[in-house]
Amino acid sequence: MPRLSVLDIIHRTVVYSLAGLTAWTVVSAVMIHRETLQKGRDLVARMEAEDRQKQEDKSIGPANASA
């Protein structure tokens, strides 16, 4: 097996580093995307719960005041 030149070693190092950086970026982007979607779902659920609570308070409130 012939000995690798310094230029070939540098080239391989750059190529493998860029491939690793690309894989890390894709994984990070997917994780951030999923986290953002989950935060949005949680916010919507909390807002809907608050709206339901306000509706219940409005419907129950006047009945208790007259009793």
pLDDT along the chain (67 residues), means of 10: 92 98 98 98 97 90 56
Is position 9 within any domain? no
- What's the pLDDT at 60? 84
DSSP state, residue 1: -
Domain span including residue 37: 31-55
Q: Which residue has the tokens 């608050």?
A: 50
What is the separation of C-alpha 33 from the centre of its chain, rounded to a whole number of angstroms? 4
Total number of domains in the chain: 1
* pLDDT reported for residue 13: 98
CB atoms within 10 A of CB 40: 10
Instruction: Specify if 38 maps to a domain.
Output: yes
* Residue corresponding to tokens 């012939």: 2
Torsion of CA 33, 34, 40, 41, to 10 degrees: 160
Answer whether residue 50 is part of any domain.
yes
pLDDT value of residue 2: 84
